[in-house]
Structure 1
Amino acid sequence: MNIAVIFAGGTGTRMNTKSKPKQFLEMHGKPVLIYTLEHFENHPMIDHIILVCLESWIGEAKILLDKFGIQKVRKVVPGGSSGQESIYNGVQAAIELYGKDNIVLIHDGVRPLINEETITSCIEMTNEKGNAITVSPAIETIFLRNEDSNCVGQIFNRSHCEMAKAPQCFRLKEIYEAHEEARKNKLGDFIDSASLMQYYGYDLYTVEGPTENIKITTPSDFYIFRAIMDAKENLQILGL
């Protein structure tokens, strides 16, 4: 089976919204989280979805799932004190429901511009190689920050660099065991699942996804999302 763990446990402090977490902000009457979930709901290779949500918003999330006809979500679990702990809660729920011999796709609830082709490629790569990390080419110059001065540190050739995005796809047994090992050793500062798996010695394989597969973190991200969705809608109206 292919199980999506959609993690929407963040509070969105950089979004500067006081009324709603960023994943519940609406665009054209539909929350960002629902746009994200629909890609996995409608994908023929996704069997089940586990939603990881802010505990205080689980009730609202369940109302939205029913309102928008999201039927593949089998369980909604509370997030943890960090992104790593939230993902662990979702992975653990998948293990409890379906066992270890499955594939899990870990995706941000605030990354609603993913597409069917990328999800398919992630599953196929994981079946072949054991994992798949969605990436896009780096389009800006990247350099290391010099902690001791205002000087620019090492500059990287951006043609050799890629931006890690999501979904990040793994054999469920392997990502679960990596989380368990990290918890046992009190290692809680991994920025994402890819860094966790690389720390424990796994070779990671990439799948290139769409450049617009942004994570909505700031107000400008939200406006970019709206502009892209409006452009797509206009193209459909024009029949292009």
Structure 2
Amino acid sequence: MKLDPSFIWTAFVKLLSAVPTTLFITFVSVLGGLILGTAIALCRIYRVPVLGPISTGYVAFIRGTPMITHLFLVYFGLPAVVDGLSASLGWSFRSVSIPYIAFALVAFTITASAYMSEVVRSGLLAVNRGQLEAAHSIGMTTPQALRRIVFPQAFAAALPNLSNSFIGMLHGSTLAFTVSVVEINAKAQIVASTNWKFFEAYLAAAVIFWGLTVLIERLAGALEKRINVYNRGGVA
């Protein structure tokens, strides 16, 4: 095999058009997973009746099954549910109108929610429970205490794990190509199929993913440093 350096650059330039799709999938999945995961973590920590055991079982099942399985379950199961509801309620909407990327977003959000719930739970448990009791003693409600005292400290404690989860979801977004979503990996395959230079195309894709990963690490590191300055009582 003879390496073609010029095609690596050509592929790199062409792959840049798929970066927004990859980042969109990652951001939406992580944000949705963080919101859902926070609710799951709270249900487990405060042992909410019915919801607590369901949340525990949900996390165990999602973490115990592969991400691509979630994607296929959503891809083949969601249309049946949507079409069934549409038929029973007399709606004209059908699953064929759902864009492929929506299946990836739903599946990846489900996956992220289970992992994010553990990240959030670890962050919340790292905050001294006495602070919540102190907030109650001065008249704060539990939601107020969580929002103003517990969550900021929990976020600081969970930030390293959050950034790792974000990077993991960035890399996991490559599975979206299995449902015909053109992200970076799928674009690399399309670019390489014109002349069978797959090694060069995937090498260019690897460079892009590496660059995005380094960027996320730097941003997370800067944010963590900023938070730690305030935790020490200093001034930025």
Give the TM-score range, shorter chain.
Answer: under 0.3
- The TM-score, its normalising length taken from structure 2, stands at 0.22
Larger RCO, structure (CA 8 Å, separation 6 or more): 2
Higher strand share: 1
Higher gyration radius (CA)? 2
TM-score by length of 1: 0.22
